Structure 1
Amino acid sequence: MVSAGTGRKWFATLLCVGMVAAGNLVIGTSAHAEVKVTESTKYYSVNGRTGLELGKAMLVGGGKTIRLRHAIAATATKFNVTDPELVVENGRCKIRKLRVNLGLTYYYPKWSGRSKASPSVREAWDVFYQELVKHEKTHGKIAIEYANRLEKELLRTSGTVLARCADFTAVASFRVRSLANELKRKQADFDRREGLSSSRISKLQVQLIKTR
Structure 2
Amino acid sequence: MISLRKVLAATAILIFAAATADAATVHRTYSYYSITGKTAADLDKGLARGGPLLKSTGNHHPGAAQIRFDAKARYRSDGRACRVTGVYVNVYAKVMLPRWKQRRKAEPQLALVWDTLSQDIKRHEESHIIIARTHASEIERAVRALPSRPDCALLRADINKVTEQLMKAHDIAQKKFDYVETLNFEKRFERLLTYRLERMISEQRTVSSKQ
- TM-score, normalization by structure 1: 0.75
Instruction: Give deviations 1:33-81, integer Å, cap 9, x for gaps.
Output: 2222211111111111111111110111114588851311111111012
The answer to whether the Cα contact below 8 Å between 1:94 and 1:156 also exists between their aligned partners in 2 is: no
> Is the Cα–Cα contact under 8 Å of residues 6 and 195 in structure 1 kept in the other structure?
yes
Backbone CA RMSD of aligned residues: 3.1
Structure 2: give runs of 5+ residues left out of the alignment: 195-211
CA shift, 1:5, in A, is 6.3
8 Å contact from structure 2 (residues 16, 68) kept in 1: yes
Superposed counterparts of 1:1-212, under 5 Å: 4=6, 9-17=11-19, 33-64=22-53, 68-82=58-72, 84-88=73-77, 91-158=80-147, 160-161=149-150, 164-196=151-183, 199-201=186-188, 203=190
Relative distance call for 1:91 and 1:175 in structure 2 (3 A) is same
- CA shift, 1:98, in A, is 2.6
Q: How big is the shift at 1:158?
A: 4.1
Q: Which runs of 4+ in 1 moved over 3 A?
A: 3-11, 63-68, 88-92, 197-207
Q: CA offsets, 1:125-167, max 9 Å, x none?
A: 0111112211111111111111110111111234532xx3211
CA displacement 1:16-45 (0-9 Å, x = unmatched): 337xxxxxxxxxxxxx92222211111111
Q: Which runs of 5+ in 1 are unaligned?
A: 19-31, 208-212
**Normalising by the residue count of structure 2, what TM-score does the alignment of the two structures yield?**
0.76
Work out the number of aligned pairs and report it: 189
Aligned-partner Cα distance in 2 for 1:157–1:104 = 28
Q: Aligned-pair distance for 1:92?
A: 3.4
- Quote the sequence identity (%): 22
Tell me the distance in 1 between the aligned counterparts of 2:35 and 2:191. Answer: 18
Instruction: Quote the Cα distance in structure 2 between the aligned partners of 1:200 and 1:133.
Output: 18
